[in-house]
Structure 1
């Protein structure tokens, strides 16, 4: 089977060789170029040097762990999409990763085919629609340029936060169930759990402040309101 056209370079940061090789194999089958690192400091240097389209980042690195790598990237204003890989299958670690600005995660053991699909999904979020501008109240999204404003203030969103807000703004007033948002934004259903949606909504509200148009419909989901 012919590999897809080049999709860009993905940085894989994993200190277990067997897992890194498996991830690399499937990403290359999908048409990505792959660069591998095994520790946090080298990963940060590689992001600056290579400018990858996405980072697959193991949380449990020795030395500077994946959480600290992601925190350092976000603090420096680097919003390269990050997909966490973790062996710690508990809600606290998952939510911590998402609150840091990670775009997705998988837990070990995982399907490398699913991981590659998750990377594709994260990158599709950056495609946008020509000349598409969405708004609700004082919040505006320029989908073409991937920019967001709350009133006169420009707001920096992760790719996932941006697409979640765009999904709500495309149909203002419609109440979306959490499962519907998972399917539309993440591209898969219950694997991540609906709590993932709640965390991203909380992050959006914190960033948009009083301008946030997002309304909670108790027991159902979320909607964007024109105010």
Structure 2
């Protein structure tokens, strides 16, 4: 059983615990304003099914996404989107870079881009919209955004406004600044910058050569390749 086969409750718990363990009461309160929601028997059973299938880890009274398994789910989903031979060859390198970014630089990248507050910012705190997006979208969104900014900053601001991602953008920048000491201590700032830039430039080839005007008129198509649904957040 993979992520797509899980119940909505299990998916919300996974999205809420990518960077650290949390209790069901905290997760319920954050998303639904009700601390007891996920303690209902049917939800506990569904959440524990994800533990049984190796996508969640239970630590006393808290749950934590099993990150290695989640990354495999992301990789498999990306592979499905590349449905011809040339794209599949490209996807292998792309997946390796994504995996490196979230594994070798995990202490910084997961904290900045996959924290619960960040996930909620993507979908304006709406749990149904959080469930509507493909899992890999949350992992790839930072690169999609910087790719658009790299292509044209005026279009980037239009994109943020159109997709209601202005707060998400501010929050990720704030977290980068707050946590940069992690990279400084390990002398890995240059590595983070280079890997980030490499992923941006290696993103889906069909868009790399297109003009900013083309991108402006095709935000939906561009984001759908990363796992976003066409409905605005």
Q: Which has the higher strand share?
A: 1
TM (normalized to structure 1)?
0.37
Q: Which has the higher helix share?
A: 2
Relative CO higher for 1 or 2, CA cutoff 8 Å, sep ≥ 6? 2
